[in-house]
Structure 1
């Protein structure tokens, strides 16, 4: 008979994915609980393997759990994908799963039961926050972004034409593709998410290739309404290589750092010192193009700040729990518009949900409204 220590050593070969499946199969008995917990627990296993390079339960540490908490914070507070209470719930599922792993001797201690692991979690204010961009708000935002382009061309605002055209492309891309912010814009915490580049855009096939939530490359829709605006932006930007970001950052320090990493600090400093009457930003722009060094993409946090400012400047008063148009609100709205028009499978495809059940769960309010209308119809 094997000893507990021998069983623990053998269990170190158990993958997180396998342990999750065993936990759901043998431990979770309550009706509906297995379905509810499966998605976040599988996502945790994916996070461990793809983001942390850890696929064995016995290798997990509190630093791995802290990184998971940070990802929940970003999805809640930056991407506005779900409420803080949902982040807390997902972490609780993982903590319970890891406690089971301890009892099964896959782990000696639970790495989720530490302040290190839990500190980054967003605080739950008791409110479930959601938002959809309404059709009117989306059109008002796009009109304002277009007006800024006209004003920049006229020279009546301080914003440059290039920035104004980029910002309009950002607004239209968010509203029309259903792509997540982390798929379009840079995530400084994730080196695999540097932001969309022009090689990811296929004007002929009308699709864009994004690094999805699945940690795999996926095709996302690229409708004509977005296509035409992005093509005009491409013609104006004239990117010297296909690796150029679709939405370059305007941050001086980030562009300078990228050049120094490729050309060496001395060379960049010399060019800035010898610039004469030329502005520093223009010098950096010239260096990026001359040496075909792509500047960084704007970050998703940068776009979040942009949307806050535009919502205020365009006098938009959005419905829902946020006082500005959020990144994820655009994605929800696209799915809602398709779903509400009886195209649930198209909504699933546009949002790239793995199953139709996920899509149904995302729009339970619309399902219930349809049921309510049906009751009224049969009882007239």
Structure 2
């Protein structure tokens, strides 16, 4: 433990980020704990600043910690990219950090030690809710999405052909690229995730550039099946600029807000009033194109609702913990198919895991199944 003379004096108004740095520097020793705790604590500090507007650590209250607990809950239950056990471990790191802040007189009491702060945490039952798209379910979903396009183009269903073509491209892209939902679709809480743009798509090299989990741009491949569907969608959409989203939203209010921000409310309202027989949605779409104002991308939540609807309409009853085909289930399935066929390194590359150990950990169940089969072969 550091002596008082080694510690820098506690300044008035220390930010959460500064307190985290002090905690990691003076309290946590280099036994691996700092590496383990740094990312979750920095993420907590980012949340306090960006989502709660907390200026210094002394301002933290139980509602701020509750907001962080709700964020962890969303990552487990909605984004499906965190285990409940990991979420609870992250909260424990934060609680320990805030206890240190009390001892350092940054805080009078620990705001994480309240039921209000802890209530939203996901229950850790020792199991991570997971899903893999089965091959049959993926093919059934893609077949239904294709049939829906045909019916929309024929006019036999009340679905806009543009929406049907976009939705099929979404389904095929999810099933064939291993990209995360946050890399393809807009995240309203993250300005750096506005959704995939056509400028991010390289048809010749058959790759897309995405803003990865590492918060750096990464290249993700896509196979012929994705290439063909995406190219047909591009030809139908005819985006006026490369900055057009690959998957534009169909939400009226979001498109209107984007136009107002660029053209001004008076101009947009005048166009809507003077549209005559042209529908209001058509007026907005025309304005976006005429003025080359890209509409917003569909959001992750919008795609989640779409998948729920398509799963039901296609009469798919998925295995696992969810009653619909989830965003992350497509990514897991692609990795599983590669991993199960002895291509663990290809699975790592497709999923863009930083290390092969991460890939092995993700598919522990397949490893155990392989071990079981090997035992059967030896003992037969």
TM-score (norm 1): 0.86
Match of residue 294 from structure 2: 294
Match of residue 247 from structure 1: 247
**Post-superposition offset of 1:90:** 2.8
- Helix, strand or coil for the counterpart of 1:8? coil
Native 8 Å contact 1:24 1:38 kept in 2: no
Match of residue 130 from structure 1: 130
323-332 or 221-230, which deviates more: 221-230
Task: Summarize the alignment of residues 253-272 of structure 1 with structure 2, pairs less than 5 Å apart.
Answer: 253-272=253-272
Q: 2:342 matched to 1:345?
A: no
Cα distance, 1:364–1:189 mapped onto 2, change above 3 Å: same
Deviation by residue 1:352-372 (Cα, 9 ceiling, x = unmatched)? 112222111111111111111
147-156 or 109-118, which deviates more: 109-118
Question: What is the distance in 2 between the residues matched to 1:214 and 1:60?
Answer: 30
Q: 2:4 matched to 1:8?
A: no
Task: Summarize the alignment of residues 149-188 of structure 1 with structure 2, pairs less than 5 Å apart.
Answer: 149-188=149-188
Match of residue 42 from structure 1: 39
Match of residue 326 from structure 2: 326
**Post-superposition offset of 1:112:** 3.6
Match of residue 31 from structure 1: none
Q: 2:218 matched to 1:226?
A: no
**Post-superposition offset of 1:71:** 3.3
Cα distance, 1:124–1:377 mapped onto 2, change above 3 Å: closer
Question: What is the distance in 2 between the residues matched to 1:271 and 1:46?
Answer: 44
Cα distance, 1:344–1:159 mapped onto 2, change above 3 Å: same
**RMSD, matched Cα:** 3.2
Task: Summarize the alignment of residues 100-139 of structure 1 with structure 2, pairs less than 5 Å apart.
Answer: 100=100, 102-103=102-103, 105=104, 107-108=106-107, 110=110, 112-113=112-113, 117-118=117-118, 120-122=120-122, 128-139=128-139
Native 8 Å contact 2:73 2:121 kept in 1: yes
Native 8 Å contact 2:20 2:97 kept in 1: no
Question: What is the distance in 1 between the residues matched to 2:223 and 2:48?
Answer: 31
**Post-superposition offset of 1:69:** 3.2
Deviation by residue 1:302-352 (Cα, 9 ceiling, x = unmatched)? 110110111111011111011110111111111111111111122112111
Question: What is the distance in 2 between the residues matched to 1:17 and 1:178?
Answer: 35
Question: What is the distance in 1 between the residues matched to 2:113 and 2:200?
Answer: 41
Cα distance, 1:39–1:302 mapped onto 2, change above 3 Å: farther
**Post-superposition offset of 1:204:** 1.6
Deviation by residue 1:49-76 (Cα, 9 ceiling, x = unmatched)? 599479x996894577555434323322
Match of residue 354 from structure 1: 354
> How many residues align structurally?
371
Cα distance, 1:97–1:346 mapped onto 2, change above 3 Å: farther
TM-score (norm 2): 0.86
Native 8 Å contact 2:23 2:100 kept in 1: no
Q: 2:280 matched to 1:280?
A: yes
158-167 or 77-86, which deviates more: 77-86
Native 8 Å contact 1:196 1:247 kept in 2: yes
Question: What is the distance in 2 between the residues matched to 1:184 and 1:372?
Answer: 37
Match of residue 207 from structure 2: 207
Cα distance, 1:182–1:159 mapped onto 2, change above 3 Å: same
Question: What is the distance in 1 between the residues matched to 2:313 and 2:125?
Answer: 28
Cα distance, 1:127–1:227 mapped onto 2, change above 3 Å: same
Match of residue 92 from structure 1: 92
177-186 or 65-74, which deviates more: 65-74
